[in-house]
Structure 1
Amino acid sequence: MPREIVTTLDAPQAIGTYSQAIKVGSTVYLSGQIPLVPDTMEMVEGGMEIQIRRVFDNLAAVAKAAGGGLADVAKLNVFLTDLAHFPLVNQVMSEYFHEPYPARAAIGVASLPKDAQVEMDAILVLE
């Protein structure tokens, strides 16, 4: 099955040897997003809630470029440098997602690119 590279200027450009997303059939694999502002490629300024929102906005932009949206997310992985922020992820996530919620993992990590405190990746299944 052919693979299609998904790109958009509405999300941060890849800062390494990867694509923003790869579409294989009706499945889309979104690369990890950190709280980078697409226009400046700088980390968003503000507290953890603002960072989490920026990550969801980045994921939503890539999902849209793939022909879907956050409602199509089947699996979400959340990486946090401090799992104490997990309740805040749940709170913000409830504004971006509705039932049925995607399957999800929350993973505590020692560090993330650009000293981000949060990163998320996702798998979409398009109808």
Structure 2
Amino acid sequence: MLEQLGYLTKVLAGVLVLILLGLASLELPSLSRPAGQWAVLLLAAASGLLGWVALGRLRRLDELQRQMHGRACQWALGFGLLALLAASALQTLGFSPPMHPLVLAGTLVAAWGVGLCITHHRLS
């Protein structure tokens, strides 16, 4: 139980960092040119570091955990594509304003979480 809580804490911390990076990127247009360039470099470095940490974590997972994450990614891709198709149809028909790219990213992260829950439930 304690191992699962630690793992969940690491996953949620990673998602929180992704959310914070996304929110920080929304402020880039309001910065002056020199500050904006440094902010872009800082955000790119933070994103690269997060990706490197995530890949290192993925390499240390056992085979069952890798399969669970792979299946969760499959669920996320399916849910994400359906959500994108629905949003595109609503925008084309004039029922919805243009969607911000962070909404799509948030949808993919949420769909990955749902896919991980579904996969865990099926294997339990």
TM-score bin (small chain):
under 0.3
More helix by share: 2
Determine which structure has more spread, i.e. the larger CA radius of gyration: 2
TM-score with structure 1 length normalisation?
A: 0.27
TM-score with structure 2 length normalisation?
A: 0.28
Q: Which has the higher contact order (CA 8 A, sep 6+)?
A: 1
